[in-house]
Amino acid sequence: MEVERKNGEEKYAADIFSIKEAQARISSFIHKTPVFTSESLDALSGRRLYFKCELYQKGGAFKFRGACNAVFSLNDNQAAKGVITHSSGNHAAALALAAKLRGIPAYIIIPKNAPKCKVENVVRYGGQIIGCEPNMQSRESTAAKVLEETGAVLLHPYNDGRIISGQGTISLELLEQAPQIDTIIAPISGGGLISGVALAAKFINPAIRILAAEPKGANDAAQSKAAGKIITLPETNTVADGLRAFLGDLTWPIVRDFVDDVITVEDNEIIEAMKLCYEILKVAVEPSGAIGLAAVLSNGFKKNQAFKDCSHIGIILSGGNVDLGPLWESFESKDDD
């Protein structure tokens, strides 16, 4: 789904045309998510913040946009045998739901250590779960086996132009809802979200700044930007389970050319941002979804003169699929006292 840029420069996997096509294709299926503001968080950050609440998207995360666009882009012959993916969470649920809406099977390869709440979402939407070991080799080999058995279409969680285009519809909405935004901060992992967001936002406003937020324990994107090539890590270590993937060959060129900087934060900063989202915004956000707020509140952002002109900041709260079991258990234990 590559579209050549008019100036003859490098082709990217998506562009404003494919993103607008995605918006037309999925608009009747998705939620147009709200934008929240908070004077308390504005005061804490010293900026005006606009929270794009993708945790209110169907499936509880932004991933439904891309999955829906990909599933409804398939022709009837392609779709008939179903779709398959390997994912530890939100893309799995999103694809299962999109497939359910189209009336086709979804085969979901899920690592055995995936969060319980995310696995339950896949079951809720009728996806057929196939377990695998928690490493990329097992995920890909299991997917290849199921692919051979079923003839289903493999839809990658992020390294796919249709997925990137679907995620880009966030920017179309956000900059219509809050056109004064001069900076957007989004989480980065495989790069599907921020690639779509950056392509659409930079078309609407070429001067807008696009910043990625990344855990220090999974800082491959920051290293990649610094090195000018894709860097992968031998292991990742972060509470943000949705941010442990590495950039793909389709997302990397967009991240390289359209993302202005990567801000890395510690896990304790992510957890504090989650707490603020719960206590002030009154939204249940997962660690990956809270990282944009963590970035804005970090010393690395506040003290960096390069960001002093970032005054109206859009923050994408990317998802809210967090296992709240320990929270409910804590209330129950208090009742027992």
Residues marked active site are found at 63, 88
H/E segment holding residue 254: helix 251-258
Q: In which order are the strands placed within the sheet that holds 106-111?
A: 128-132, 106-111, 83-86, 153-154
- Secondary structure of residue 229 in the 3-state scheme: coil
User: Which segments within 260-320 are labelled E, that is strand?
Assistant: 261-265, 312-317
Of 51, 127, 47, the C-alpha closest to 302 is 47
What residues form DSSP beta bridges with 214? 264
Q: Strands 312-317 and 183-187, how do they pair?
A: parallel
Residue 224's alpha-carbon distances to 168, 190, 294, in angstroms, are 22, 12, 21
